[in-house]
Structure 1
Amino acid sequence: MRKLFIVAFTLLWISTNAQKIEWMTLEKAVEAQKTNPKKIFIDAYTVWCGPCKMLDKNTFGNKDVAKYINENYYPVKFNAEGNETINFQGKTYKNPGFNPNTSGRNSSHELSGYFGVRAYPTMLFLDESANFLTPITGYQTPRQLEIFLKIFATDDYKNIKSQEEFGEYTTNFKHEFVE
């Protein structure tokens, strides 16, 4: 009985202390920037994308990644082939070709085109005024994503002018996230 109690308590403690990303809509993120300026991090995914699911489980499920994103960004989850109507920067974006009867690939959302999303997953970084900074395409492990999360959150990207300087930055980068 005592062992069962310890196991139950441990599982409860783990589940209540697990860090999760506090995803929000793009509209809410832009609104939040008005009172507390932070950059926006967007996960552009699709429902059929295997690497997107791996990113959710392995990378976004990592407590270090989740904690860092929650503290330094407004995180947005965006279905790049979804049917959501999104108001952004004075324009309304939709997916006019969306087919609700499709279980696989669908047409691309207009906002995907605005950001130039061509592959999934794509992570998008926006500055404190919701201006587009850059996309990062493809699956990233927690430690791979850590470099990008920190380079933008700290504004270090502003001091990097070439591929060589970026290579030097990544070579000297001190990882803190645990895989």
Structure 2
Amino acid sequence: KVLLLIIFSFIGIFVFAQGIDFQELSLEKTLEKAKREKKLVLVDCYTTWCGPCKMMASQVLAQKKVGDYMNDKFVSVKIDMEKGEGPDVKKRYGVKAYPTFLVIQPDGTLIHQVVGYCEPDKFIKSVGESFDPSKATETLRARYNGGERNRQFMLNYLDVLLTIGDRSVEKVAQEIFAGLNEEEKFSQDYWFLYENMKLNTVGADMYNFLLANRERFNMVIGKECVDNFLRRCNMEHLNWASFGETDMTDERRGEIQKNLDKVNIPELYPFWEVVQACRSKEIGRIVNTCKKNFPKMDLHLCGSYYSMFKNLIEEKGTAGQKKAWEKLREDIKKRRETEQQKMEEM
């Protein structure tokens, strides 16, 4: 038994050593160790509730090839962003999503970031970009802040910002758009600027340009593609109007209505009616408006809005309202089954 225990202990140590060798040190001590060893620092910024963080820990960071690459070049440390020094680290380096992996010089200067779950090979490649000045996030940011604006650099920088989910990405996209000539603005080559909702939102310069020149875009890009973007973009905008805006004035309602009239996609109007009813928080209005408009709305949206108000209506609705809400659930279920059947028959 003792022999088996010793064997399993060694196996456990071996397995543990296969992945990244995370130090149980403060960030300051980790930086000092990296300076002595002439390495960079890799910080795994995580939270205990983050699903992708747990997947990275078990499926990626523990792999031998990941450990072989990282341990040779980095002194690594895991920091819970909600405990101990975590909140200070989060603020210092602007961590906004989890997991985020920071690559830091021994003097504390941020070089690069990798955000979100990555497969092992992609993670190695992404972290390795720390050593490439044309791809390291903070090197590119410094060049941008220094005034560099040539087209290829801006496109590379935009791609990096999209990858890490940086909030300045829309501003950079608008700068690229402003630098396009007339022909380029209508080119298929730059349609990606218009159709990405992280870059282009209702009211932005690109959005307004698209709307004002819709017929020409229909000819170059295709009406179905243009309408699909406008539909998705406005659904997202209306969804935000449901809960993201704390106070909606009559003037703001007028702006939304005016934009919808310009877009002129019929299925957006029922959603707008539901949004306004939901904002009223009047149960009777919510139930009646959803009964009227759910059959004309996207099925996924119907399910989302049904779930959002289910508890409210069950707790405070009348017997009739509860019955009507339950009927909506049954209708949504039938629509799902019908759509599933159609897909299976294709």
Pick the TM interval, shorter chain: 0.5 to 0.7
Larger Rg: 2
DSSP 3-state at the match of 2:91: helix
**Structure 2 gaps, min length 5:** 1-6, 141-152, 160-346
Matches within 5 A, 1:53-68: 53-68=54-69
- State the 4+ residue runs in structure 1 displaced beyond 4 angstroms: 11-14, 163-167
The reply to whether residue 23 of structure 1 matches residue 28 of structure 2 is no
CA contact (8 A) 1:33 1:129 kept: no
Aligned to 1:118: 96
Q: Letter of the aligned partner of 1:149 in structure 2? A: V
Superposed displacement of residue 149, structure 1: 2.4
* Alpha-carbon distance in structure 1 between the residues aligned to 2:95 and 2:156: 26
Q: Deviations over 1:46-79 (max 9, x none)?
A: 0011110000000101111112211110101010
Residues 128-169 of structure 1 show CA distances to partners (whole Å, capped at 9, x for unaligned) of 4321113221111111101122222xx22x1446355998xx
Question: In structure 2, the residue corresponding to 1:139 is in which secondary structure?
Answer: coil
* Aligned amino acid, residue 57 of structure 1: S
Q: What is the CA–CA distance in structure 1 between the aligned matches of 2:134 and 2:73, rounded to whole Å?
A: 19
Letter of the aligned partner of 1:143 in structure 2? Answer: D
Residue 78 of structure 1: aligned partner: 79
Give, in angstroms, the shift of residue 44 of structure 1: 0.2
Alignment partner, residue 45 of structure 1: 46
Aligned twin of 1:132:
110
Q: Distance in 1 between matches of 2:67 and 2:41?
A: 14
In the comparison of the two structures, how many residue pairs are matched? 134
- Counterpart CA distance in 1 for 2:71 and 2:35 is 17
Structure 1's 12 and 81: CA in aligned 2 closer, same or farther, altered over 3 A? closer
Q: Aligned AA for 1:134?
A: H
Matched residue, 1:143: 121
Aligned to 1:36: 37
Deviation at 1:40, TM superposition (A): 0.6
Distance 1:37 1:71 in 2: 11
User: CA offset at residue 117 of structure 1?
Assistant: 0.8
Write 1 or 2 for the structure with the bigger share of helix: 2
Q: Which amino acid aligns with 1:23?
A: F
- The question of whether the paired residues in 1 share the 8 Å contact of 2:19 and 2:62 is answered with yes
SS of residue in 2 equivalent to 1:134: strand
- 5+ residue gaps, structure 1: 1-8, 86-94, 96-108, 168-179
Distance 1:143 1:166 in 2: 23
State the percentage of identical aligned residues: 28
Return the letter of the residue paired with 1:130. Answer: G
What letter corresponds to residue 32 of structure 2 in structure 1? E
- Structure 2 SS opposite 1:76: strand
Correspondence for 1:92: none
Tell me by how many angstroms 1:115 deviates: 0.8
RMSD of equivalent CA atoms: 2.9
Alpha carbons of 1:47 and 1:129: their partners in 2 closer, same or farther (altered >3 Å)? same
Higher relative contact order (CA closer than 8 Å, sequence separation 6+): 1
